[in-house]
Amino acid sequence: MSLVVIDASAALSWILPSQATAAAEEFLSDHIADTFVAPHIFQWEAGNILLALEWRGLLAAGDLDTALAALDGLPVMLIEPLLPAAVAGLRPLAREGQISLFDAAYLQLAADFSCGLATRDGGLVRLAGLVGIDCFDLRGVSIP
């Protein structure tokens, strides 16, 4: 059993059929015994994405509650919130890598724990490779 940081895009690929990929399904079955960790922002970010999908008509209103319950049911250990100085410390990584502060938090957590990162975010996959973090690219082929 090992530790793996998962981001919101990884989680959504497991709970939304529209986001599912063969790579995400394979990763989940291969790593089901691992411990998944995420920064405390994980549920805020994933929940916000789900809400935005509903607003755009890509997620039925009745499906939002189901998706949020599935998100809450994922076995993800959330890490304590960062102090303001630590958040400020993420800015150079975000700026140089042209990623969001959210994504920088996932990447930094993987670096801090010396573990892999699972994501469907292409920018995060690219930057993880550049900074030497093992990355599980869950983009793969979409499942119809």
CATH of residue 82: 3.40.50.1010
The DSSP annotation for 20-77 comes to -BHHHHHHHHHSTTSEEEEETTHHHHHHHHHHHHHHTTSS-HHHHHHHHHHHHHS-EE
Tell me the pTM: 0.89
Question: For residue 62, is it within any domain?
Answer: yes
Question: For residue 144, is it within any domain?
Answer: no
> Distance between CA 11 and CA 94 in Å, rounded?
21
The number of residues in the chain equals 144
What percentage of the chain carries pLDDT values higher than 70?
A: 97
Asked whether the beta carbons of 103 and 123 are under 8 A apart, the reply is yes
Asked whether the beta carbons of 36 and 70 are under 8 A apart, the reply is no
Model confidence pLDDT, tens digit, residues 55-98: 999 988 789 899 999 999 999 999 998 888 888 999 998 899 89
* Beta-carbon count within 10 A of 77 CB: 10
Question: For residue 143, is it within any domain?
Answer: no
| Mean pLDDT, rounded, of the chain | 91
Question: For residue 13, is it within any domain?
Answer: yes
Question: For residue 22, is it within any domain?
Answer: yes
pLDDT at 49 over 60: yes
pLDDT at 144 over 70: no
As for how many domains the chain has, the answer is 1
Predicted local distance difference test score (pLDDT) of residue 141: 63
Full residue range of the structural domain in which residue 38 is found = 3-137
Model confidence pLDDT, tens digit, residues 105-118: 999 999 999 999 99
Q: What is the dihedral of CA 54, 58, 61, 66, to 10 degrees?
A: -90
> Distance between CA 124 and CA 7 in Å, rounded?
10
Name the more confident of 49 and 61.
Answer: 49
Predicted local distance difference test score (pLDDT) of residue 121: 93
Predicted local distance difference test score (pLDDT) of residue 40: 94
